[in-house]
Amino acid sequence: MRILKVNRNDAGQRLDKFLSKAVKGLPQSLMYKYIRTKKIKVNRQRTAQNYFLCEGDEIQLFIRDEFFESPENDTGALERIKPKLDIVYEDENIILLNKRPGVLVHEDSEAKENTLIMHIKAYLLAKGEYDPSEENSFAPALCNRIDRNTGGIVIAAKNAEALRVMNEKIRDNKIRKFYLCLVHGTPKKKSDTMYAWLRKDSGANMVEVRDSRFSGAKEIITAYRVLESRKAESLLEVELITGRTHQIRAHMAHIGHPLLGDGKYGVNRDEKHRGYKYQALYAYKLKFLEDREENILSYLVGKSFMIDKSSIWFLEKTEEAR
């Protein structure tokens, strides 16, 4: 028999959702069977699969040891990493980081340990704020993602409640997201809020944008204002009203102003020779809007966080070209 004690980061979850993360080797069909047949109990009582766990609950599992796996990211792996993070803001619940272009946020077949999330976990382990051996179902997690070749502010949650609330803020559009980008040409309007429809092709990892609704498409809203125009290029501040895959890159290309350095929705052969290795796009500012209810992150309401523009690589190039 194994006993799992519900801690702060586990509380508030349904029993079945918790078990799917805490006992990764247990097939879902067996999990539900074991709950029904009392091989899995809470506080030594028969419990429904949709029971919401409370801090301090004890889960008794009368199942074979083979179903239990070691934590996905063990302490040893994290201790090998020397964290390299550019921290914009940090408190007891969240970290805002300046992700550089080229950095992968999550692991893939090529990168296992050299990812942003692994460096975050290693950093928190070294600070004593995270220990995978003491967690059943939670690990520090990213709340938003930025393409590998785009830079900007990424939000990470240090605990389960902060993760839940931050995800709700993002889903309910309680965070305004601003980008800087360098585009070809100058838009006719100095500022505009643009509406279009976007469909994602997962196989090709590209999107298609049209002015009117079409099959499988979702509406996109992109607001911009021209900050500066010089020769054949313009610097724009863009606000994402909706947040779809490649939205800024595809929407700007759709209106005839692709981003410099963007080989997917523009032609960047000549720009590479000028040093534009990545698309000239940076998520440089966040602003937290008011929530209806008090929560663990209410202290962030009204606050804005911005990356120092001197660290945005393509702005340095525009200065060099003057």
Token pair belonging to 134? 């003491």
Where are the chain's structural domains?
2-67, 75-171, 175-320
User: Distance between CA atoms of 49 and 184, rounded to whole angstroms?
Assistant: 56
For the domain made up of 2-67, give the CATH fold.
3.10.290
Structural tokens at position 106: 């999550």
Domain 175-320, CATH class in plain words: alpha beta
Which fold is adopted by the domain 75-171? Pseudouridine synthase (3.30.2350)
Distances (CA, A) of 10 to 15, 59, 69, 274: 10, 12, 18, 50
Amino acid at 128: G
Establish whether domains 2-67 and 175-320 are of one fold. no
- The backbone torsions φ and ψ at residue 88, rounded to the nearest 5 degrees and listed phi first, read -85, -40
Q: For residues 118 and 81, is the Cβ–Cβ distance under 8 A?
A: yes
Provide the residue-wise pLDDT of the chain in tens; the chain has 322 residues. 899 999 999 999 999 999 999 998 899 999 999 999 999 999 999 999 999 999 999 999 999 888 886 545 468 889 999 999 999 999 999 999 999 999 998 766 555 668 999 999 999 999 999 999 889 989 999 999 898 899 999 999 999 999 999 999 999 999 999 999 999 999 999 999 999 999 999 999 999 999 999 999 999 999 999 999 988 999 999 999 999 999 999 999 999 999 999 999 987 777 877 888 999 999 999 999 998 889 999 999 999 999 999 989 999 776 655 5
Pairing of strands 175-184, 281-288: antiparallel
What tokens does 221 get? 């809203």
Contact between residue 158 and residue 95 where contact means Cβ atoms under 8 Å apart: yes
Whole-angstrom distance, CA of residue 67 vs CA of residue 58: 18
